[in-house]
Amino acid sequence: MLLPDMFIDTHAHLDFSDFDNDREDVLKRAQEKGIERIINVSSSISGCARSLELAHRYESIYTSIGVHPHDVKEIDDKAFKQIESLAHSEKVIAIGEVGLDFYRNLSPEDIQRNFFRKFIELSVALGLPLIIHSRAAEEETLKILNDFSGKIQGVIHCFSGSKNFLEECLHLGLHISVTCNITYKKSGSLRELVRYIPPERLLLETDCPYLAPEGFRGKRNEPSNVRLLAECIAELRKCSIEEIAAQTTENAKRLFKF
């Protein structure tokens, strides 16, 4: 029987150096707040190796394998083959984070598109869900995803897009993950969109060390703050935090099959 106060942080970066001095304490605080499992999401080639090491060291941590659009300029087909090999490792439950970021354009757009498609093809081949990053690239993201309609599964992480983007992603069968940025005073329109996410498609994440909740902005985020996020969502959706915990945990376990 699922405990009513158990949560899953579906997107964390605990391999980052931000946590090198107190990673054990961070995990202990997460456990005390009922964070049952954490998906440590890779964002670079070196990050894939670090994430796997964490997943093998800690029972509560699982991982994804992928390269953030900022860093795809650093990989070639040979490196992609290495990443593909890592994706077969134990405790790898997703491909990500992958996608498009035309806001900062730290990698050329054509390279971003190319590798986004390659990562989608890998996810389809392995039957692993995608963890998708999309910033200032809604139209292009949808164009590529629609080319794989009916074949893909996954989640739009750290959702901060338009209502149309939300509706199109839901139409594609994707889950929607929200993070602590919905607690910010100026995020009223984003909070409103949270009400439209079907309960069976909602996921929780911190994206730590980024996006600490209101009242902690400027500080490092960490998985224990999933509970604060859940409290905000429960208030928005006029339900109990126990309902949010049970539903989002069920959703994560169903999508990631762990």
In a domain, 1, yes or no: no
In a domain, 215, yes or no: yes
> What pLDDT, on a 0 to 100 scale, did the predictor assign at position 2?
44
Other beta carbons within 10 Å of 21: 9
The answer to whether 15 touches 47, Cβ cutoff 8 Å, is yes
In a domain, 91, yes or no: yes
CATH number reported for the structural domain that contains residue 119 in this entry: 3.20.20.140
Total length of the chain: 258
> What pLDDT, on a 0 to 100 scale, did the predictor assign at position 176?
98
In a domain, 104, yes or no: yes
Give pTM, 2 decimals.
Answer: 0.96
> What pLDDT, on a 0 to 100 scale, did the predictor assign at position 208?
98
Q: Which domain holds residue 45?
A: 7-256
Q: How many domains does the chain have?
A: 1
Place of tokens 């069920």: 250
**Beta bridge partner(s), residue 175:** 155
* Average pLDDT along the chain, 258 residues, taken 10 residues at a time: 72 98 98 97 96 98 98 95 96 98 96 98 98 98 98 97 97 98 96 96 98 96 98 96 97 98
How buried is 237 (Cβ within 10 angstroms: 0-12 exposed, 13-18 middle, 19+ buried)?
middle
> What pLDDT, on a 0 to 100 scale, did the predictor assign at position 3?
43
pLDDT in tens, 87-102: 999 999 999 999 999 9
Q: How far apart are CA 98 and CA 81, in angstroms?
A: 16
